Amino acid sequence: MKGKLTVFKIGGKVLEKPALLNPFLKNFSSWPGAKILVHGGGAKASQLAKQLGIEPQMVNGRRITDAAMLEVALMVYGGYYNKSIVAQLQHLGVNALGLSGADANTILAERRPVGEFNFGFVGDVRKVNRQRLHWFLESELVPVFCALTHDGQGQLLNTNADTIASELAAAMSKIYDTQLMFCFEKKGVLRNADDENSVIHHLNRAGYEALYKQNLVTDGMLPKLDNAFKALQNGVNQVRITNVNHLTQGTLITLE
Amino acid sequence: MKGKLTVFKIGGKVLEKPALLNPFLKNFSSWPGAKILVHGGGAKASQLAKQLGIEPQMVNGRRITDAAMLEVALMVYGGYYNKSIVAQLQHLGVNALGLSGADANTILAERRPVGEFNFGFVGDVRKVNRQRLHWFLESELVPVFCALTHDGQGQLLNTNADTIASELAAAMSKIYDTQLMFCFEKKGVLRNADDENSVIHHLNRAGYEALYKQNLVTDGMLPKLDNAFKALQNGVNQVRITNVNHLTQGTLITLE
C-alpha cells in the first residue's frame, strides 16, 4: 500500500499576513503523513522591485521575469520567504528543508521558448527528482519549495508556484497516494468573484469549461485550475482549492 | 579510517567578481572527497541595504544586524547568492544543496547577549547537526551554507560565515579528517597589508599573538584567525588561509 502525501501551496497574499500564515503553519505542522509545502511571494517581490525602481510586468496572471526581476525573485522567494517559513516550521517541530529546484537537483526545467509572449527567465518543468524527494520524506524531512527551478546549465528560472505544486504532486503520485491543496485567502473557487459565499463545492472539467466560457474564471484562478486538472490527469488522487485556514472545506476538484 | 572532508569558505569580495568566483567553483567541483562550501555576501548586502535606505553598521569587522538588516541578509545570503552558487555547481556536476542553519535544523544558534555592543539578530553557534550533515554527505550531496542560523524558536540569526565554516569543520572532525580553507581575494595572511608579496607561509598561535601585539592583524583577518585557531583546538586537522584561485598555497595555520 502506498503512503499518503499532501502537497500544499500557499500564495503571496497569505505570506504577507501573519493572521493567515501563522494559523496555517500550525495546522500544517499537525497534518498527518508526508507533506511538502510550496510557496509563492509575488506580492512582496513586486513591492521590492518597486523599491529598487524595477517595474513588474504581468501577462495572463503570470509575471515576466527579466534579469533584474529574477534577482528579486531569488531574494524574496529563495531567501526571505523560504528561510522565514523554514525557521517558523522548525519552531513548530517540523523538520523543514527549504529548496529551490536547483537544490539537490530536485526540479529541472527549461526556459520557456519565446512565442506570443517572451516571459523571460521563466521555466517549464521537465523533471521532478522523485527519488531524491522520497529520500528526504522517508527521513521525515519536510521539503519547502519556493517558486524557483533551474535548467541544469547554471540558469535559475522562475516557475509559477501553482505549477510547481502540481508537478510535484503528479510526480510523487507514482510513489504516494497524493493530495494537492491550493490554499489561499478566499473560501474556494467562487461563482461570483465579489461574493465570498458563492463557493463552488465541487468542480469537474465540464463545470470548469462552462465557467470559462461565461468568463467567470479570474486571472489568478486560471493557473490553479489548469494545474489542478493537469495534476488529476497525471495521477493525483484529489485536488482542493480552499481557504488557508479551512483546509478541509472549499472546492473539491475532480476530472468527472 | 576516517573519510576526508574539506570545508571551504569564500567571502563577499569573491562572490562579486565572476573572474574570481567562476574558476574557484570549477576547482571546487573537482576537489576530491566530501566537501562543504560556506559563503558570505556582506558587500552586496551593504549595497542592497543602501539602495533600500538602510545604513549598515559594523563593529570590529562584524555587522550589526537589526530587523531591516536581517531581512537584507535573508535575501542576499539565503536567496541571491545561495541559489546562484547552487545552480552553478549543479551545472558543474556537483549535487549542491543550499542550506541555512534552519534548514533540516543543521545549525542551531543563540542570539548573542547584549554586552559592550548590541549586535542585534546575531547568532552564536550552539550545535551543529553532524549526523544530518553526514547523511547528506554520504549521499554525495554537497552542502552550501549561507551565513544564517536559527534559534529553534522561529528566529533566524546572522552568523559570521568564517565562524560557520569553523564550527562546521570542528563538529565534522568527529566523523571526518577535516581540513578548513578560508579562501579570499588576497594571497594569504600578509605581514604588511599593502604588500601582496608579504605572505606569511606558516603561522602558529605564538606568531599570531606577536602579530596582534604589533597591530598587524587587520579587522577582516581577526575573525578568520580566531576561527582558525578555534577549529584547530576542536579537532580540525589543518587550516589554510589562501587565495581563492590558489588553494594549495597561502598561509598554513597550526597550533604550534
> ipTM for the complex?
0.95
Could you tell me the pLDDT band of residue B64, with boundaries at 50, 70 and 90? confident
User: For an interface test with B, which of A83, A97, A121 has the most B Cβ atoms less than 10 Å from its Cβ?
Assistant: A83
User: For residue B217, what pLDDT is reported?
Assistant: 82
B12: pLDDT strictly greater than 90: no
In chain B, the DSSP E strands lie at: 3-10, 34-39, 57-59, 62-64, 96-99, 107-111, 123-128, 142-145, 148-150, 156-158, 176-184, 202-203, 238-243, 251-253
- What is the average per-residue pLDDT within B217-241? 91
Cα angle for residues B249, B250, B251 (degrees, 5° grid): 125
Domain residue ranges of chain B, discontinuous segments joined by +: 3-253
B56: pLDDT strictly greater than 80: no
Shortest Cα–Cα distance, B49 to chain A (Å): 11
- pTM (whole model) above 0.90: yes
| Bridge partners, A148 (sequence order) | A158
User: For residue A63, what pLDDT is reported?
Assistant: 65
Interface list for A 106-145 with B (CB within 8 A)? 135, 139, 141
In A113-185, the DSSP E strands lie at: 123-128, 142-145, 148-150, 156-158, 176-184
Please indicate if any CB of chain A lies within 8 Å of the CB of B156: yes
Q: Dump pLDDT digits (tens) for A55-111.
A: 767 777 666 899 999 999 999 999 999 999 999 999 999 999 999 999 999 999 999
From residue B94, give the alpha-carbon distance in Å to each of A177, A209, B30, B89.
32, 45, 9, 5
B62: pLDDT strictly greater than 70: no
Look-up of cell digits 505542522:
A29
User: For residue B21, what pLDDT is reported?
Assistant: 97
Yes or no, beta carbons of B78 and A79 under 8 Å apart: yes
Q: Give chain B positions within 8 Å (CB) of A95.
A: 104-105
Name the range with the highest mean pLDDT among A131-135, A205-209, B47-51, B61-65.
Answer: A131-135
Report the residue from B75, B97, B156 with minimal CB separation from A103: B97
Which CATH number is associated with domain A3-253?
A: 3.40.1160.10
Residue A61 exposed, middle or buried by CB count within 10 Å (0-12, 13-18, 19+):
middle
B202: pLDDT strictly greater than 80: yes
A238: pLDDT strictly greater than 80: yes
Which of A52-61, B63-72, B240-249 comes out lowest in average pLDDT?
Answer: A52-61
Q: How many helices (H) and strands (E) does chain B have?
A: 9, 14
User: For residue B220, what pLDDT is reported?
Assistant: 75
User: For residue A170, what pLDDT is reported?
Assistant: 98
Yes or no, beta carbons of A78 and B78 under 8 Å apart: yes
Which of A88-92, B111-115, B249-253 comes out lowest in average pLDDT?
Answer: B111-115
Task: For residue A25, give the chain B residue with the closest CA.
Answer: B154
Please indicate if any CB of chain A lies within 8 Å of the CB of B93: no
From residue A138, give the alpha-carbon distance in Å to each of A132, A141, B55.
10, 7, 45
Q: Dump pLDDT digits (tens) for B94-108.
A: 999 999 999 999 999
Contact yes or no for A168/A106 (Cβ under 8 A)? no
Please provide the average confidence, as pLDDT, over all residues in chain A.
Answer: 94
Yes or no, beta carbons of B141 and A104 under 8 Å apart: yes
Q: Give chain A positions within 8 Å (CB) of B79.
A: 74-80, 82-83
Radius of gyration of chain A (CA): 17
Q: In chain A, what percentage of residues exceed pLDDT 90?
A: 82
Q: Dump pLDDT digits (tens) for B78-88.
A: 999 999 999 99
Please provide the average confidence, as pLDDT, over all residues in chain B.
Answer: 94
- What is the average per-residue pLDDT within A15-37? 97
Amino acid at B71: E
B59: pLDDT strictly greater than 80: no
Could you tell me the pLDDT band of residue B223, with boundaries at 50, 70 and 90? confident
